[in-house]
Chains A and B, each alone.
Chain A
């Protein structure tokens, strides 16, 4: 199958600073890829390279099978949506949408037709004659998406498009972008630092750190089988519980001496021989209490320190044999600080990492 976007051995330096190093990424036709990472990890830089707004230091970029490494942005078959919307303030919505088409010298009838179609898809027909200053944040972002839409491109690039919106609008537009993707079936590359956006939108997520892709996988794999400690800690809120200790054969011994059998754990290749310094990671929602805990392979007693009721669920911050452990449970279970409860978890749903290399075992 032909890749929609292919990045080969891409490097980018700003002077002596290496922002991207030998990066490879293949994106399938119609795929929704999210580049996720903290500020400064190179995700926006990568997007700008794909768009042609930054010259690369080394490597190649292919879009729809064509080598576009030296092409101008307009010739790459991309449309881009920016965080600050970047609408031309002196033009009406209609002129904003049609600017690129007018630059390309398209006949007026076709321009009108395309603008109408985009306006209809995004439901912004009543706004066509307004200036951007008279639009709300959500409407502006729709127009910005529309500007990419009218150009009828193969690949959509989104650079943190929802970061300037308030929480409510953000979740509304998130759903709308997903709906748009399902309708248009274009390839979309979406940059964000918001893990909820990444998990909800993506077909595959690329988690980046210091210009290197740490893991590229579907959201379920990223969440449940993080490839290293960084990914495990970055994804999930509250973050995964980490317990340091030693892995010795079929047993994980925490630093305080607690022994947890790991026989049911699926190792990436095979269990390391001999004794290895390791970190055990358990998601807060994979720890159970009460009756459910009784059925779990491993059980312990936890002392609750802080309870955070979130409405639909409750977070509890506890100590298990001196190790801080967070768990998530139904809000129906009455919990109070100072309580002692039995918690249990299944090692098969946990993650083991080598303490030295930080990679998944």
Chain B
């Protein structure tokens, strides 16, 4: 018996085969998982609750709001408050609702996003691939610029735009957003381009392509993720901006955020909480949509741009 066992290479003693076999079981209710999910659920509720209150209140009528139970669901949900917030809520003396502010914000956001991203992309590309004498110093100064608080520059900027004759116009806001977006966007693009293989650039140069040709035909098609990140950063940043809008745009051109503030803070009559809530949700809708639509790209792009410093 032992002879055969040795010959076939099997151990002479029978092994206990009833023990663990195959993949290790993964029970769902382990203490670790219970704690993890409890914490996660708690924090998501914590963040979602204000949104819930806003949406629910905006769907109620004023008598129902005054009734006082802010957590209750609306008895007869209706969009009257939303319509009023959009078309006829009073911002100071004008009672045209948020709509003009929305269009002002669009007119500010689109050009400043496009211009700032384009300039920053070219900057980042030049800083990585076309190093010139002093390019590192130039870059350091640019980055330093992004750490200076806006408040310090506010008054000089008011004087500059006044001298240029554009104070109180949309152009002023657009130019200022473009300038202030540049340092951080240049950093973003520089790091992204630095992470692309240098040999691609060399190959394109051997192939005879010049500065712009390499930029448009080789670099840009490879940079979609970082463009999505830059667009999200700029659209949400500029859309949510209050300070530059209120200072530079002039009363006729207030962006949506400033008008929202004016609606909420106008002191005539009783505060219409449902209209205020509807106006707030409306204002927040654009950045929210941008995040939802491009969330996947955003994470990917941030990861790609952040690897190299």
Contacts and interface: CB of A to CB of B under 8 A. Distances in A.
Interface of A: 48, 51-53, 72-74, 78-80, 82-90, 99-100, 103-104, 147, 151, 159
A78 B218 contact: no
Contacts of B134: none
Main secondary structure of the interface of B (DSSP, over half): helix
Contact of B206 (A74, A84, A85, A90): A74
B209 A80 contact: no
B208 interface: yes
Given A90-B222, A104-B208, 18 more contacts: A53-B202, A53-B205, A53-B206, A74-B207, A80-B202, A82-B203, A86-B197, A86-B199, A87-B203, A88-B217, A89-B222, A99-B209, A100-B206, A100-B207, A100-B209, A103-B207, A103-B209, A159-B199
Given A84-B197, A86-B197, A147 B203 contact: yes
A74 B210 CA distance: 10
Given A88-B200, A90-B221, A90-B222, A79 B213 contact: no
Contacts of B209: 99-100, 103
Contacts of A73: 205-206, 208
B193 to A, nearest CB: 14
Contacts of A87: 203
Contacts of B204: 88, 99
Contact of A83 (B199, B208, B213, B217): B199
Name the 4 nearest CB pairs between A and B, nearest first: A74-B208, A100-B207, A86-B199, A86-B203
21 contacts: A53-B205, A53-B206, A72-B205, A72-B208, A74-B206, A78-B206, A80-B206, A82-B202, A84-B197, A86-B199, A86-B200, A86-B203, A87-B203, A88-B200, A88-B218, A89-B221, A100-B206, A104-B208, A147-B203, A151-B207, A159-B199
Interface string B199-239: 11011111111000100011001100000000000000000
Interface of B: 197, 199-200, 202-209, 213, 217-218, 221-222
Contacts of B200: 86, 88
A149 B199 CA distance: 18
A95 to B, nearest CB: 10
Nearest to B224: A90
B206 to A, nearest CB: 5
Contacts of B207: 74, 99-100, 103, 147, 151
Contacts of B199: 82-86, 159
A88 B207 CA distance: 11
Given A88-B200, A90-B222, A103 B213 contact: yes
Contacts of A103: 207-209, 213
